[in-house]
Amino acid sequence: MREEHLAHMVRNKATQYGGKAALRAKSGGQWKDISYESLGEQVRAAAKALLEMGVKEGEMVGIFSQNRPEWTIADYGILSVRAVSVPIYATNTARQAEYIVNDAEVRIILVGGAEQYKKIRSFFDGSPYLKKIIVFDDGVKLDGKEHSVYFRDFIEEGRVSEKDAELEKRLEEASVDDLATLIYTSGTTGEPKGVILHHSNIYHSFIAHDERLDVSDRDVSMCFLPLTHVFERVWSYFALGNGMTIAYCDDTTKIVEYLQGVKPTVMCAVPRFYEKIYSAVFEKLETAPPKKKKLFLWAVKTGEEVYKRKKEKKSIPPFLRLKHRIAEALVLKKIQGVVGGRIRFFPCAGAPLSQKIEEFFHSAGIRITYGYGLTETTATVTCHENYHFRPGTVGKPIKGVEVKIAPSGEILVRGENVMKGYYKKPAATAEVFEDGWFKTGDVGVLEDGYLTITDRIKDLMKTSGGKYIAPQYIETTIGNDHFIEQINVIGDQRKFVSALIVPSFDALEEYARSQNIPFSSREELVKHPAVVEFYQKRIDEQQKELAEYEKVKRFTLLDHPFTQDSGEMTPTMKLKRKVIAEKYRDLIDAMYDKD
């Protein structure tokens, strides 16, 4: 029986699983576990400490940190006093954090390390709301005990607190209708909006995932995406609700190392994760001896035959089974080893995923459960089923969720997973609802129950010739190439489609050296005629299936990536097209001034 309130869930699981590992994190070079029993005890201490600080029911409490066990403990502590968690991306700027703190009227905030502490301190004194900072990392130097405290001391205060009766009363009154969290959207256009999610939204999401996904308390989940992101957040609730062990990745640059150490069985990831692995594999293949390349392609082809039969519940002929064992032993197990060797499936969402890349992973024996959702829909709207799924689509709607396509092509969603609205923004809330249906802002096609995403409505472009183009589709198609790290398509009110392209510099520099192309800097490298010609040929090959009006006619290679720090990307790694268009206006205009 599913608990309707997350505070009840964590308490029950602590009792049910006792000494079993709940959370796992790296400390001093070693992986260390926190048991379910210890998790429950620390959550209770955190809750009582919040009561000592006078936290009221429905009060907003901020969390501004990278992934770590303390994030989860604090989150459940907040929920246990029927307060509301307000997460902030660890990479947000001080200005972005200040906006959220002020909008949500946050009085108490928990921060990760020195970087987040410094950002909060930069506006703390001028904040009309902030009164207390609780710091997870006890190596951070605190500059004022009257307003700052270490998390370890915060927990100890809760342990000796006599607020047990008050906490029990709060828990007894906890309701599925309680507000659980306020998650601020990234804001690709305009200011962020606080998405209101109740415990009921999360509860109904659990019920749907119980039916769709095959998980158990034997699973180990790697917490890789930011916990601020609705995808990782709700998945982590689901993982603990099923008795899994959650291992934390606090440094995404070390994810491959962490995967090798933890060997998880499940892990949420966005398409960029798979694109990078795919690029690394094919970059090595590019320079491999012909025999090795031939063996690799044979093994993947064999894996493809097997996976396609399995997904349709067809038997594997004896000879194909034998071939597959050989393919696994010689090639496929090595690819699986990159992600730890034990992955049963990867929940994946957040951006377009190339069908070519998706099918490569399936063929390698790594199942991707690709889906679609938004913060406003408590993450999942659709995802692949275990069988009969269709690569290239984002699967079928989960239980209790209805999807339809508006005459404009916009995807509309209805269900108990859909938010009630945006915090303090009634006009914005009214704008995204129509006759009880949530307007996602995405364009798609629904065929035989399978949903395919085309693009974002706001991203759709119309050339000066009157042709509509979907930039994400073009970017995904061309971005398949492992020599391309990032691509931003341009074409709105232009004569043709162009693009700004960031090369995969590791692959490009190796290629340049192999071809004796001289360069002393990346700026010099991207301007070399041989490099430009090389990319032109690769782009032409990737886009040969596109319509003529969709094809990139001209491009410019950049010597640096688009980044969040430069304001060109959101914390969820989505391109801010308006910012890029303005910042690179001269380069873009130059591509059209050549006529």
Q: What is the H or E stretch that residue 168 is in?
A: helix 164-173
Provide φ and ψ at 345, rounded to 5°: -165, 155
Q: In what order do the strands lie in the sheet with 266-267?
A: 30-35, 21-27, 245-248, 220-223, 266-267
Give residue 241's pLDDT.
Answer: 97
d(CA 430, CA 503): 42
Least confident of 307-316, 473-482, 528-537: 473-482
The C-alpha torsion from 221 through 224 and 226 to 230, rounded to 10°, is -40
Q: Where are the domains of the chain?
A: 6-174+213-267, 460-592
Question: Which tens digits make up the pLDDT trace of 83-102?
Answer: 999 999 999 999 999 999 99
Give residue 340's pLDDT.
Answer: 96
CATH topology of domain 460-592: GMP Synthetase; Chain A, domain 3 (3.30.300)
Stretch 183-189: mean pLDDT: 74
Tell me the pLDDT band of 480, cut-offs 50, 70 and 90: confident
Give residue 591's pLDDT.
Answer: 94
> Is residue 569 within 8 Å of 563, Cβ to Cβ?
yes
CA nearest neighbour of 490 among 365, 392, 581: 581
How much is the pTM? 0.89
Is residue 531 pLDDT above 70, yes or no?
A: yes
Higher-confidence residue of 104 and 192: namely 104
Classify 6-174+213-267 by CATH class.
alpha beta
Count of C-beta atoms within a 10 Å radius of residue 200? 20
Is residue 187 pLDDT above 90, yes or no?
A: no
The residue type found at 72 is: T
Is residue 27 pLDDT above 60, yes or no?
A: yes
Higher-confidence residue of 443 and 459: namely 443
Q: Which tokens is 247 given?
A: 């291992």
Q: Give me the helix-helix angle, 164-173 and 36-52, nearest 10°.
A: 100
Residue 569 DSSP label: B
> Is residue 417 within 8 Å of 383, Cβ to Cβ?
no
The C-alpha torsion from 430 through 432 and 433 to 434, rounded to 10°, is 110
Give residue 188's pLDDT.
Answer: 54
**Segment 325-333 long-range contacts (CB within 8 Å, at least 24 positions apart):** 326/302, 327/298, 327/299, 327/300, 327/302, 327/303, 328/299, 328/303, 328/365, 330/295, 330/299, 331/295, 331/296, 331/299, 331/300, 332/299, 332/300, 332/303, 332/364, 332/365, 333/365
Q: Which tokens is 240 given?
A: 């603990």
Question: Which tens digits make up the pLDDT trace of 458-469?
Answer: 888 888 888 888
Give residue 595's pLDDT.
Answer: 60
> Is residue 364 within 8 Å of 375, Cβ to Cβ?
no
Give residue 381's pLDDT.
Answer: 98
Tell me the pLDDT band of 547, cut-offs 50, 70 and 90: confident
Same fold yes or no, 6-174+213-267 and 460-592: no
Sign of the Cα torsion 313, 314, 318, 320 reads negative
CA distances from 484 to 137, 249, 497, 507 (A): 37, 26, 17, 9
Scan for tokens 């029927």, then name that residue.
82
Least confident of 85-94, 535-544, 551-560, 562-571: 562-571
d(CA 124, CA 121): 5
Hey, which residues does 489 pair with through a beta bridge? Answer: 499
Q: Give the strand pairing for 108-111 and 60-64.
A: parallel
Tell me the pLDDT band of 483, cut-offs 50, 70 and 90: very high
Average pLDDT, the chain: 94
d(CA 352, CA 334): 26
d(CA 66, CA 248): 10
Give residue 567's pLDDT.
Answer: 87
Give residue 159's pLDDT.
Answer: 98
d(CA 407, CA 64): 41
Q: Give the strand pairing for 21-27 and 30-35.
A: antiparallel
Tell me the pLDDT band of 534, cut-offs 50, 70 and 90: very high
Stretch 402-418: mean pLDDT: 96
> Is residue 104 within 8 Å of 194, Cβ to Cβ?
yes
Tell me the pLDDT band of 190, cut-offs 50, 70 and 90: low
d(CA 582, CA 92): 22
Is residue 189 pLDDT above 60, yes or no?
A: no
Give Rg (Cα) of the chain: 25
Question: Which tens digits make up the pLDDT trace of 236-283?
Answer: 999 999 999 999 999 988 999 999 999 999 999 999 899 889 988 988
**Burial environment of residue 90 by CB neighbours within 10 A (0 to 12, 13 to 18, 19 or more):** buried
Give residue 464's pLDDT.
Answer: 82
Q: Which tokens is 465 given?
A: 């010739």
Is residue 563 pLDDT above 80, yes or no?
A: yes
Give residue 465's pLDDT.
Answer: 83
Stretch 394-422: mean pLDDT: 97
Do you know the residue count of the chain? 595
Give residue 574's pLDDT.
Answer: 84
Q: Give the strand pairing for 433-434 and 421-422.
A: unpaired
- Furthest-apart CA pair in the chain: how many Å? 77
> Is residue 419 within 8 Å of 379, Cβ to Cβ?
no
Higher-confidence residue of 29 and 303: namely 303
**Segment 162-165 long-range contacts (CB within 8 Å, at least 24 positions apart):** 163/48, 163/51, 163/52, 164/48
Give residue 125's pLDDT.
Answer: 93
Question: Which tens digits make up the pLDDT trace of 312-335?
Answer: 999 999 999 999 999 999 999 999
